[in-house]
Structure 1
């Protein structure tokens, strides 16, 4: 029984050490110009959505859908940055901007 407990503890320590190594290798350069641009647009769209709801020009359900779309874009931005040393490439920036444009056109219709 003691041997089984020891093995479980050893596996847990090993798993935690791998998790620590993986997180230490991820460099988040949130101030990189392309990342900052994407995140600034997402924040601006968030404000616009809230304003539309306050003014009664957008339902809460529609706002929730657009917020969900924005969260997906933000997650894609983070995933792309993780794969590229904390930066996003020009092509990735273009793709994210196209997605943001699609959401932006739905605000204020």
Structure 2
């Protein structure tokens, strides 16, 4: 086998592997917009907007904003992690747990 053919075979194998991995991890529209997930993610988006407005009007320092955004990212990551175990959606108990975390961040934004 010539080096060019070997390289072509490796490139084709890697491309096929990458395609199968991305297809397996992709979510359907229903999974990504499941009502419980949608509610959690809408709250996170609204909180991020509140943080940005707080920085713009001087109520929140840039340092506090970075910390609050980091907490929101952790909640979003946890939501995605939970959904990965439940066929793309979260249970009511998981939603309540995420909402409690969001409530804590919301109180911090309001202070």
TM-score bracket, shorter-length normalisation: 0.7 to 0.9
Q: Using a 3 Å threshold, how does the CA distance of structure 1 residues 20 and 68 change in structure 2: closer, same or farther?
A: closer
Per the alignment, residue 27 of structure 1 pairs with 28
Per the alignment, residue 64 of structure 2 pairs with 62
Per the alignment, residue 48 of structure 2 pairs with 46
CA distance in 2, matches of 1:103, 1:20: 32
CA distance in 2, matches of 1:106, 1:5: 55
Query: What CA deviation, in whole Å up to 9, does each residue of 1:12-39 have, x standing for no partner?
Result: 2552354145235x43523221111101
Comparing 46-55 and 3-12, the one that deviates more: 3-12
Q: Using a 3 Å threshold, how does the CA distance of structure 1 residues 7 and 56 change in structure 2: closer, same or farther?
A: same
CA distance in 1, matches of 2:4, 2:52: 58
Note the residue ranges of structure 2 that are not aligned, 5 or more in a row. Answer: none
Q: TM-score of the superposition, structure 1-length normalised?
A: 0.80
CA distance in 2, matches of 1:39, 1:68: 15
Q: Using a 3 Å threshold, how does the CA distance of structure 1 residues 19 and 56 change in structure 2: closer, same or farther?
A: same
CA distance in 1, matches of 2:50, 2:93: 26
For the residue of structure 2 that corresponds to 1:56, the secondary structure is coil
Paired residues, number: 108
CA distance in 2, matches of 1:58, 1:91: 32
Spell out the pairing of 1:61-80 with structure 2 (5 A cutoff): 61-80=63-82
CA distance in 1, matches of 2:22, 2:57: 46
- Residue 40 of structure 1: how far off its partner (Å): 1.4
